[in-house]
A and B are shown apart, each in its own frame.
Chain A
Amino acid sequence: MSNLIATDITKRFGGLLAVNKLSFELAEGEILGLIGPNGAGKTTVFNCLSGFLTPEEGSMYLGGNAIKGLQPYQICQMGMARTFQIVKPFPTISVFDNVMVGALAHGTSLQEAKSMSQDIIESVGLRKMRDLEAQGLPLPLRKRLEMARALATRPRVLLLDEVMAGLNPTEVDEMIDLINQINQDGVSVLLIEHVMRGVMALSQRMIVINYGEKIAEGVPAEIVKNPLVIEAYLGKEFLSAQG
């Protein structure tokens, strides 16, 4: 069964065609990687899926329900959560209070939300920072907070936007483990990523977009050998560096 189905999504900004008839499916329990050069339209796709933008054409279905034209908060309540490429913590409140906002999203009681927030904070490894102000956290921890907050909304589908940017290899490994764990708990993941190590390790399938169009789709092993992808995105050096 497919959790998220996008068909022929098209988004224009004035004369600029940012996304052009993009279609893909995210299966239940899958991790799907979305890669492509900067400006290819990846974040625009996320914004369309999560309701921050409305595509001019095309349809989007989450768990069988149409979501085009819905507001972001409604889409979140229907089970799809997202993170932002440039993280957006609630700066002057604590880690715990940040996560609580997500936990309260579904009409949970205050008490339930509190214990759920505590659980999630521990599962992402932020237990010691629970009462720290979010704006004092270094970047890798802010990224974990961003994920914890999204997880608190109990999503069935999670959209991750470049969560590994700016992390060193050890931190990338930790993030890979975390995302795998989330996936094993039953969340389907669509991830935008430039950190190839991360997206290769996690993705069961990948789609590549360039200039708003899908240019390749398949398993990671095929994708890295695809000449279109190499030319547009990876560069020949990538293959030799991988060697």
Chain B
Amino acid sequence: MKRYHIFLSLILLILVVLPLFLDNYILGIFVMVFFWAYVGQSWNVLTGYTGHISLGHALYIGVGAYTSTYLAQVFGLSPWFGMFAGGVVAAGIALFLGFLGFRFGLRGVYFVILTIAFAEITRLIVSHVEALGSFSGIFLDFEPSFWNFQFSGNLPYYYISLALMVGSLVAVYIIEQSKLGRFIVAIREDEEAAQALGVNTFKYNMLAIAISAFMTSIAGVFYANYIFYLHPNSMFGMSLSIELILRPIVGGLGTLFGPLIGSFLLTPLSEISRAYFAKGGLEGLHLVLYGIVAILVVLFMPKGIIVYVRRFLDPLMKDKK
């Protein structure tokens, strides 16, 4: 395993040092790579590891974004603290959703519909609340400072999103090795069998959804203070919910590095093709390219790209005795 650790540390070192060589535009692409990797990892906890498919995870991004922004604009509270408030609200909503789903035995498609419904209902509610910007959305004032979680240039955002991505990796790794991790995987594999073995599946399902929601909402805070505009359709909308699941699926659902690998592949593809096609006046064509890649991966590599990455790397990683 030692070689493996060295390999990972090397990659981390490269990522830390990389900004010295990159211009602001490329840095921006990396910010999004790390961002989507982080969001994907948060979603992975509920869907990849515990096995409950959520197609409404945008809900938690929106909750994080709107909560911290509201607290910042009305009470001047720094988003660094607003993050936790947003996380608590997100976890609270998730627990409510989880209660409805898990207590009443909603599984499979029915659970999916529940997640979609929650996101949609929240989107509609926020669209009608004046204090939250209603239909026009909220424009954030650009007042760069550490307290405000706003920065000029992509460099600070690069390091923050890198920290989030690495942090989520560590968090999920710890979960994986713990009792919690083993129980949620058991639930995914066979919930009935898990119950017969003494696992309080309701409790662990609730924990999984709360953790996933909390983590996801932090991404919302980041996002709000990166693009400076919140709108219910973009923050709670279906397209966001779908966008965030693509990378973990393509990379490898239920694996530690899947969301990262997926993001490193898809995000640059998305960003670069968007710019490329926009120049030629073919706006939106990047989505077609994007979709094709996703279809190809799902058809030929359903377990995700990580299977092939592992096959390639494992022989190289074997420690010399």
A and B touching (C-beta < 8 Å)? yes
Binding site for B on A (CB under 8 A): 50, 52, 71-73, 76-77, 81-82, 84, 88-93, 97, 100-102, 104-106, 110, 149-150, 152-153
Partner of B197, one of A71, A91, A92, A149: A149
Give chain B nearest CB distance to A5 CB in angstroms: 21
Beta-carbon contact of B182 and A97 below 8 Å: yes
Interface string of B180-210 (1 = CB under 8 A from A): 0011011001101111111111000000000
Considering the chains assembled together, what is the distance between the CA atoms of A42 and B190 in angstroms?
Answer: 23
**Extra A-B contacts (6), CB below 8 Å, given A81-B198, A97-B185, A106-B198:** A84-B192, A89-B190, A101-B182, A102-B197, A104-B179, A149-B193
Residue in B186, B198, B200 with the greatest tally of chain A CB atoms within 10 Å: B198
Closest to A87 in B: B193
Going nearest first, the 6 A-B pairs with the smallest beta carbon separation are: A105-B198, A90-B189, A76-B198, A88-B193, A72-B195, A101-B186
Which chain B residue shows the least CB distance to A155?
Answer: B198
Q: Are A90 and B198 in contact (CB under 8 A)?
A: no
Contacts of B183 in A (CB 8 A): 101, 104
> Closest B-chain residue to A110, C-beta based?
B179
Q: How far is the CA of A72 from the CA of B197 in the complex (A)?
A: 8
Asked if B178 CB lies within 8 Å of chain A CBs, one says yes
Q: Is the CB of A52 within 8 A of B192?
A: yes
- Asked if B190 and A76 make an inter-chain contact with CB atoms under 8 angstroms apart, the answer reads no
Given contacts A73-B201, A101-B183, contact A91 B189 (CB under 8 A): yes
Q: Which residue of A lies closest to B189 (CB)?
A: A90
A-B contact pairs, 13 of them (CB 8 A): A73-B195, A73-B200, A84-B193, A84-B196, A88-B190, A88-B196, A90-B194, A93-B189, A97-B185, A101-B194, A149-B193, A150-B196, A152-B197
- CB pair A104 B196 closer than 8 Å: no
CB within 8 A of A100: which of B182, B192, B198?
B182
Q: How far is the CA of A100 from the CA of B194 in the complex (A)?
A: 11
CA distance A105 to B198 in the complex (A): 5
State the CA gap A150–B190 with chains docked (Å): 14
Which residues on B sit within 8 Å (CB–CB) of A89?
190, 193
Whether B190 pairs with A72 at a CB distance below 8 angstroms is no
Inter-subunit contact A88/B192 (CB<8 Å): yes
Which residues of B line the A interface, CB within 8 A? Answer: 177-179, 182-183, 185-186, 189-190, 192-201
Q: Is the CB of A105 within 8 A of B190?
A: no
Q: Distance (Å) between the CB of A201 and the closest chain B CB?
A: 26
Beta-carbon contact of B178 and A105 below 8 Å: no
A101 touches B197 (CB 8 A): yes
Is B198 a contact of A102 with CB atoms below 8 Å?
yes
Q: Which residues of the partner chain B approach A104 to less than 8 Å between Cβ atoms?
A: 179, 182-183
CA distance in complex: A93, B49 (Å)? 12
Contacts of A100 in B (CB 8 A): 182
Whether the pair B189, A82 counts as a contact (CB closer than 8 A) is no
A90 and B199 contact, CB distance less than 8 A: no
Considering the chains assembled together, what is the distance between the CA atoms of A88 and B197 in angstroms?
Answer: 11
Measured in the bound complex, the distance between the Cα atoms of B183 and A100 in whole Å is 9
For A108, the closest partner residue in chain B by CB is B179
Contact residues in B for A152 (Cβ distance below 8 Å): 197
Cβ B195 vs Cβ A110 within 8 A: no
CB closest chain-B residue, reference A152: B197
Q: Find chain B residues with CB under 8 A from A106 CB.
A: 198
**For residue A73, which residues in chain B have a CB less than 8 angstroms away from its CB?**
195-201
The one of A52, A84, A91, A153 that contacts B198, using a Cβ cutoff of 8 Å: A153
Question: CB-CB < 8 A to A150: which residues of B?
Answer: 196-197
Assembled-state Cα–Cα distance A90/B177 (Å)? 17
Complex Cα distance, B204 from A101, in Å, reads: 13
In the complex, chain B residues whose CB is within 8 Å of the CB of A71: 195, 200
Q: Least Cβ distance of B310 to chain A in Å?
A: 14
B290 to chain A, nearest CB (A): 28
A153 touches B189 (CB 8 A): no
Determine the chain A residues whose CB is within 8 A of the CB of B185 once the complex forms. 90, 93, 97
- Contacts of B182 on A, CB cut-off 8 Å? 97, 100-101, 104
Chain A residues within an 8 Å CB radius of B190: 88-91
Which chain A residue shows the least CB distance to B179? A104
Q: How far is the CB of A193 from chain B (nearest CB, A)?
A: 19
- A153 near B179 with CB under 8 A, answer no
Residues on B with C-beta less than 8 A from A50 are 196
Q: For residue A101, which residue of chain B has the nearest CB?
A: B186
Q: How far is the CB of B279 from chain A (nearest CB, A)?
A: 45
